[in-house]
Structure 1
């Protein structure tokens, strides 16, 4: 009986293989046709591009932050002032977190990337942005125990459908192998958009807005935390997050962002 059934099974297997091959060919052809009909465009200049959303010319316009910079805030120095010398801003207004690092300056191309990820569902940009962040924050990640994305309030998260900081944090988790604890830190009250607010207003806006969930204290206590966000402007949001994490007994809190605002009118000394 088995010998008689064997040819039938063989023919069936060949048919399934042929059908799968046809499906694969059709899928490849459909993707190729879509790429031809709708080529990927550079998110900044809208020119066709092969890759991850940024053409070579716009990529060259990104201002990547490299040493020398303030060891506390990560603000680039115009010249090297010597080892461990802090910027005037770090001395005048020391943050709750220990160190901050950013991949790029928040200039025109960086702003376009951030806004596309944040407001235009361009989650395809997260892998490249996250890899740049992981490279810029290697010093922090080498010492870290856990990654925490800056959370959205649930209402804003429901409206946007995803948290851009969480998307970046997942890429960094894969790059670094460091545990991601997405639900440990929560935004317990809604806040106004920070855009257009003064430094004092920004700090007041987020005061008391973040809290570590009681059932997630074990993810934080005694751990070295790296906070992940897309942009650092005044630092009010990440500072409020750092204070909440330190109240939950975090051993240390550092900050890693894709872009940071650099005030060229206040060149660090």
Structure 2
């Protein structure tokens, strides 16, 4: 019966594959397999020039092709069911870090309040929860600690240089006092959808450290191809948050 209802929903509310545009499927089998392959190929990435305080970062896939399209569909168009396959790619990046044994505590980087209100959901938190579930199914204890908050508004990052982005987010994140006790003395992995210049992840690491937490690394779904290869500064067009 579930298959019948899906077919009816496709007739009433037709959708196209977020990855390739194939009609009447939110994510076709070919694009789903492509995401799975990328998730198994997680690599360390190095934004250049990297800001001070940036932890080591692993990305599940290059920000291109179906990965880019699916991320944007989930983030900007509210295709919430795509959180599952994207969370699997993020879980691959967490595994790539090879952090110490024991439960993995994933701390999502928060989006701006106005962005969350406009989208109706927090895409990074949603993917972090799916990544934690994926890791647990593989026998790795993983939990999400949603403790980071924005303490002030930041400007749109689009069009800003690496230096301008660093200044834009400096001091913008915090761990509220009531949540700091959850971090004190504990090791965590920061998680985000994208890394571009690394400014946001460096600020998140600073905020966690200020709450006596210890960041062992950061995992993201995607990064520019240049960060995978030469470590050069990203030149590709990226979403504005990071």
Q: What TM-score results when the alignment is normalised by the length of structure 1? A: 0.72
Q: Mind listing any 5+ residue stretches in structure 1 that lack a counterpart?
A: 1-24, 76-86
Does residue 133 (structure 1) correspond to residue 108 (structure 2)? The answer is no
CA contact (8 A) 2:51 2:199 kept: no
Q: What TM-score results when the alignment is normalised by the length of structure 2? A: 0.79
CA 1:57–1:121: 2 relative to 1, 3 Å: closer
Instruction: Give, in whole Å, the separation in 1 of the partners of 2:156 and 2:47.
Output: 28
Match of 1:252 among 199, 212, 215: 215
Shift of 1:110: 2.0
Equivalent position SS for 1:200: helix
Instruction: Give, in whole Å, the separation in 2 of the partners of 1:29 and 1:61.
Output: 26
- Report the counterpart of residue 3 of structure 1 in structure 2: none
- Structure with greater Cα Rg: 1
- Mapping of residues 61-80 of structure 1, within 5 Å: 64=38, 74-75=44-45
- Report the counterpart of residue 5 of structure 1 in structure 2: none
Match of 1:181 among 135, 145, 149: 145
Instruction: Give, in whole Å, the separation in 2 of the partners of 1:145 and 1:104.
Output: 21
Instruction: Give, in whole Å, the separation in 2 of the partners of 1:231 and 1:170.
Output: 16
- Report the counterpart of residue 243 of structure 1 in structure 2: 206
- Report the counterpart of residue 56 of structure 1 in structure 2: 30
Aligned residue pairs: how many? Answer: 225
Q: Mind listing any 5+ residue stretches in structure 2 that lack a counterpart?
A: 136-140, 233-242
CA 1:127–1:251: 2 relative to 1, 3 Å: same
Instruction: Give, in whole Å, the separation in 1 of the partners of 2:220 and 2:154.
Output: 20
- Mapping of residues 95-244 of structure 1, within 5 Å: 95-140=52-97, 143=100, 145-176=104-135, 177-182=141-146, 184-244=147-207
For CA contacts below 8 A with separation 6 or more, give which structure has more relative contact order: 2
- Report the counterpart of residue 10 of structure 2 in structure 1: 35
Kindly provide the CA deviation profile for residues 9-48 of structure 1, in whole angstroms up to 9, marking residues without a partner as x: xxxxxxxxxxxxxxxx6x8754432235555521132113
Shift of 1:268: 5.0
